[in-house]
Amino acid sequence: MTPLDRLQQIGRIPLGLYPTPLQELARLRSHLNVRPRLLIKRDDLAGPGFGGNKIRKLEYYFSKALRQGYDSVITCGAETSNHCRITAAIAAQTGLECHLVLSPASQSGVPASLFLDEIYGASIHRVADSGSRASAMAELSDSLRAAGRHPMEIPLGASTPLGALGFVRAISELESAPGVIFHSSSSGGTQAGLLAGLRLYGFRDTHLVGVSAGDTAAEVRESVQSILSGLELMLELPARTLLTEIHVEERFAGPGYGIPSPESQEALRLLGRTEGIVLDPVYTAKAFAGMLAYLREGRLDSSSSVMFWHTGGQLALFSATPP
In the chain, pLDDT over 70 holds for what percent of residues? Answer: 98
Assign 321 a pLDDT band (cuts: 50, 70, 90).
low
- Cis before 155? omega within 30: no
Q: Which CATH number fits domain 54-158: 3.40.50.1100, 3.40.640.10, 3.20.20.370, 3.30.300.20?
A: 3.40.50.1100
- Considering only CA atoms, which of 35, 15, 82 is closest in space to residue 283? 82
Provide mean pLDDT across the span 226-243.
Answer: 95
DSSP 113-163: HHHHHHHTTPEEEE-SSGGGHHHHHHHHHHHHHHTT--EEE--GGG-SHHH
Kindly give, in sequence order, each residue whose CB lies less than 8 Å from that of residue 263, ignoring residues fewer than 6 positions away: 252, 254, 286, 289, 292, 293
Kindly give, in sequence order, each residue whose CB lies less than 8 Å from that of residue 8, ignoring residues fewer than 6 positions away: none
- Beta bridge partners, 126, equal 102
- Structure confidence at residue 106 (pLDDT): 74
- Structure confidence at residue 322 (pLDDT): 60
**DSSP structure class, residue 105:** P
Assign 260 a pLDDT band (cuts: 50, 70, 90).
very high
Catalytic, out of 72, 81, 186, 261: 81
| Vertex 286: Cα angle to 298 and 61 (nearest 5) | 120
- Beta bridge partners, 72, equal 97, 151
Provide mean pLDDT across the span 263-272.
Answer: 97
Cβ(28)–Cβ(306) below 8 Å: no
Q: pLDDT digits over 27-69, tens only? A: 999 999 999 999 999 999 999 999 999 999 999 999 999 999 9
Coil, helix or strand at residue 17: coil
pTM for this prediction: 0.96
- Structure confidence at residue 83 (pLDDT): 97
- Structure confidence at residue 1 (pLDDT): 87
Coil, helix or strand at residue 262: helix
* 81 is an active site residue: yes
What CATH topology corresponds to 3-52+160-320?
Rossmann fold (3.40.50)
Q: Do domains 3-52+160-320 and 54-158 have the same CATH topology?
A: yes
Question: What is the chain's mean pLDDT, rounded?
Answer: 95
End-to-end CA distance of the chain: 54
Q: pLDDT digits over 208-220, tens only? A: 999 999 999 999 9
Domain locations in the chain as residue ranges: 3-52+160-320, 54-158
How big is the chain by its Cα radius of gyration, in Å? 19
CA distance 69 to 202: 37
Residue 188 has pLDDT above 90, yes or no: yes
Assign 107 a pLDDT band (cuts: 50, 70, 90).
low
Residue 323 has pLDDT above 80, yes or no: no
